[in-house]
A and B are shown apart, each in its own frame.
Chain A
Amino acid sequence: MSAPTLSRTSTRLTHRLLNPQPPYRCLSCCRYLAQSQEPANHSGPTPTTHFGFQTVPSSSKQSRVANVFTSVASSYDTMNDLMSLGTHRLWKDYFVRSINPGTRDCEEGKGKGQTILDIAGGTGDIAFRMLEHCTVVNKDHASKIIVSDINPDMLAEGKRRAREGGHDHSGRLSWLEANAENLHTISDNSIDLYTVAFGIRNFTSKALALREAFRVLKPGGVFACLEFSKVNNRLVEALYKRWSFGAIPLIGQLVAGDRESYQYLVESIERFPGQEELKGMIEEAGFLLPGGEEGKGWEDLMGGIACVHKGVKPLG
């Protein structure tokens, strides 16, 4: 062994010994650790839910989801663009346009504007679009938006974007760190519009979140949800599965350096109930479904890859 190689090896060794590196942290480790730490004896019937393809105790889903979003917060936009080939922007635009938030004649001083609650909207994607729709399309400068997310890292990302995009000067955006299943800081019958875009999938209990949505909404208020769903064409489905299970974790690994989070993402999409089931849940929570006789109560985007569900809280 030549002298330079030896010295380099020794330097590396001493470096490692003197500065012990922090344990390598990523979601895959968290998942691995969580699995290894799971109690061996399943004596008590602990309530379980699914986390991707795994079945986990309900109590741990929240922290697991938190880990996923903490690790993806910074590369969120790039990843969304790559994974959906840019179409997530179209879906979000369409979602906001179809809801048409904002009241038309509030510039005449008649209306007070609306109170909009954007759940799981940490990065502000939907909130900024709604704010713009209110202001530009409906000339509504009064409506207010509460952006709520369970994850402080996602909220921080949203606040940063609000600053950069110049949205925070209006004073119409407020930020709330809360669990969608328990919105105790928001009073009953106080919200005009409740939106949740690509979030409901990650809720531990969807029924609980829907009940909470029903509680906070005013009579006549609207629940609107944009979420991945079941593709209704076999051929498209085959291609879509190929893409989501083959390409997305790989892109995650290459771009965000985190394969496991994106593996969770595609698994959670796969596990998420289809259109019919979610419609049933919304109906069960007490909402009126749009569309009447012919309407199905939902609207498929791109053949069902994503889907818009809406519900209106009835009067009285």
Chain B
Amino acid sequence: MAAAVPLLHTRSYSLNLFGLISRIQELDRGLMNNDYHKATARRLEHEAPSPFSPTEDAILSAALAHVPTHGFTTTALTHGARDAGYLDISTNLFPTGAFSIVNFHLVTQRLALAKHASSLQPHADIATNIRSLALHRLHANKPIAHRWQEALALLSTARHIPTSLRELALLSDELLFLAGSTTVTSAWYTDRAALAAIYAGAELFMTQDRSKGFAETEEFLTRRLEEGEKVRGGLDMVGKWVGMQAGGLVDGLRSKGVWI
């Protein structure tokens, strides 16, 4: 017993040294609390406050109206500034230039999803809700779909990648939350990552879609979501199997007198 105590001590020390478990737990707790409360507050308020100032809002929404003709360019931004009663030089308000129009579109459309969520079927399952919400979000890209490649190009430049990824993560979180997902296990992460990948794929598909009313994009999204469900089911089973085997192993070792 005297030997076991220092051993235990060393083990807990090494765990603390790497700080892995406690760090992950902390991170998990932090993320959960933070995002959960934010999202709840958002849902309760219904109208999320816009992160853009009235001036930015006026110029950027006017600029967005010029995107179908001028694309996601500084020209569209300049035209937007003029339409809002500002000068050409006033575009200095947006240090990221054309990217600010892309960001504006992403943020406003994400926030607009909450309104659509109230029209969802009350007792529909989560998968149906996710599909409906994701489709609604994709349809918001319709007027600028022929210019979306430019936006994707801007989103993937090194300077903007952190903003792009964060916005995609927020969108995925918003979709799952509004669909009614309440997971608190590790699936919280995998669900969000999978949905983000599926949505980004569908958006990319949409830029090449020439079908009427983007019917092919809709089919693409449906197929990907179904696959996602299948993979998730498979992974769940694999997880269960691994858990069973591990439990069995521990029990077996304990029966042999190993102190675990």
Contact = CB atoms under 8 A, between A and B. Distances in A.
A222 interface: yes
B92 A99 contact: yes
A150 interface: no
Interface string A276-296: 000000000000101111110
Contact of B85 (A221, A299, A315): A315
A218 interface: yes
A291 B87 contact: no
B87 A218 contact: yes
Contacts of A114: 87-89
Contacts of B208: none
A222 B85 contact: no
B188 interface: no
Contacts of A299: 95
Nearest to B97: A100
Interface stretch (B1-9, B47-55, B118-126, B214-222): B47-55
Interface in B38-75: 51-53, 55-56, 74-75
Contacts of A315: 55, 85-86
A66 B135 CA distance: 66
A222 B92 CA distance: 7
Contacts of B87: 114, 192, 218, 220-221
Contacts of B129: none
A193 interface: yes
Given A220-B87, A221-B87, A292-B53, A310 B75 contact: no
Interface string B134-163: 000000000000000000000000000001
B164 interface: no
Binding site secondary structure of chain B? helix
A219 B90 CA distance: 9
B110 to A, nearest CB: 14
Interface in B81-122: 81, 85-95, 100
A103 B88 contact: yes
A292 B92 contact: no
B78 interface: yes
B95 A290 contact: yes
B93 A312 contact: yes
A104 B86 CA distance: 15
Interface in B147-200: 163
Q: Which range contains the number of A residues in contact with the other chain?
A: 20 to 34
Contacts of B93: 288, 290, 312
Contacts of B100: 292
Contacts of A292: 51-53, 56, 94, 100
A314 interface: yes
A239 to B, nearest CB: 27
A300 to B, nearest CB: 12
Interface string A101-136: 101100000010010000000000000000000000
A294 to B, nearest CB: 8
Contact of B90 (A111, A222, A293): A222
A224 interface: yes
A311 to B, nearest CB: 9
B63 to A, nearest CB: 14
Interface of B: 51-53, 55-56, 74-75, 78, 81, 85-95, 100, 163
Given A192-B88, A293-B51, 13 more contacts: A103-B88, A192-B89, A220-B90, A221-B89, A221-B90, A290-B93, A290-B95, A292-B56, A292-B94, A312-B86, A312-B90, A314-B55, A315-B86
14 contacts: A98-B92, A104-B78, A192-B87, A192-B89, A220-B89, A221-B89, A288-B93, A290-B92, A292-B51, A292-B53, A293-B52, A299-B95, A312-B93, A315-B85
In order of increasing CB-CB distance, the 9 nearest A-B pairs are A220-B86, A220-B87, A220-B90, A293-B51, A222-B92, A290-B93, A103-B88, A222-B89, A312-B93
